Amino acid sequence: MKKTIVAGYTRVSTLDQGAESLPDQEKRIKDYSQSHGYSIFKIYCDKESGAEENRTAFQEMIRAAEQKKFDKIVFT
CA angle (20, 25, 30) in 5-degree steps: 135
Kindly list the averaged pLDDT for each block of 10 residues, start to end, along the chain of length 76: 93 68 94 98 88 81 98 96
**Which pLDDT value is given to residue 50?**
65
CA dihedral (22, 13, 46, 7) positive or negative: positive
What is the DSSP secondary-structure string of 47-73? Answer: -S---GGG-HHHHHHHHHHHTT--SEE
Query: Rounded CA gap, 76 and 64, in Å?
Result: 20
**Which pLDDT value is given to residue 51?**
60
Cβ-contact 74, 29 below 8 angstroms: yes
**Which pLDDT value is given to residue 2?**
81
How much is the pTM? 0.85
Q: What is the CATH number of domain 5-75?
A: 3.40.50.1390
**Which pLDDT value is given to residue 19?**
59
**Which pLDDT value is given to residue 55?**
86
